[in-house]
Amino acid sequence: MKGKNLVLVGMPGAGKSTTGVIIAKELGLAFVDVDLIIQEREGALLQEIIDRVGLEQFLKIEENAVLSLDLEGSVISTGGSVIYSSAAISHLKKKGLLIYLEVSYEEIARRISNIASRGIVFGEGKGLRDIYGERSVLYEEKADLIINCTGLTIEEVEQQVIRAVQNR
């Protein structure tokens, strides 16, 4: 585990950022949030960036942000759409374990109340159920570990992640 990154992937609302901070504190690791890096570099909120440059260009910005990371011993919270970039996923897996925080569609839909302003990458004419369906398959396929977080508290998720990593 020494020097390895823990890379959290999953749908918006899965708890990647919230849980990531707690895991980092518990394990004495640094915490990095890719969405915050993008916002800082672009000088705007995610939704503003998407509105300004469009989906394809946003995905490129996200990919470039991930490819610029050269970290060890960090917990990395990714944006939900990072899974669309093979280059980004490959880069993250070189020095890290990809951990999918799996949450049921129903719970994700309940958790996300600000869907229009949240900065979620939707293809033309797609809704939350559509992106859940297409992304969940990709997360499962690429993940080194899958943690089912449905119905769990943040502390329970944190403990499950730490246990799974230590047992690996």
Q: What is the pLDDT along the chain (168 residues), one digit of tens a residue?
A: 566 999 999 999 899 999 999 999 999 999 999 999 999 999 999 989 999 999 899 999 999 999 999 999 999 999 999 999 999 999 999 999 999 999 999 999 888 876 655 557 677 778 888 999 999 999 999 999 999 999 999 999 999 999 999 998
Evaluate whether 121 touches 35 at the Cβ level (below 8 Å).
no
Q: Which domain holds residue 60?
A: 5-166
Can you tell me the distance from the alpha carbon of 64 to that of 76, in angstroms, rounded to the nearest whole number? 15
pLDDT at 118: 58
Evaluate whether 23 touches 158 at the Cβ level (below 8 Å).
yes
- CATH classification at residue 135: 3.40.50.300
Instruction: Give CA separation, 78 vs 124, 125, 167, in Å.
Output: 22, 24, 23
| Type and span of the H or E element at 107 | helix 105-111
Contacts of 38 by beta carbon, 8 Å cutoff, 6+ apart: 46, 49, 61, 62, 65, 79
pTM above 0.75, yes or no: yes
Give the count of domains, the chain.
Answer: 1
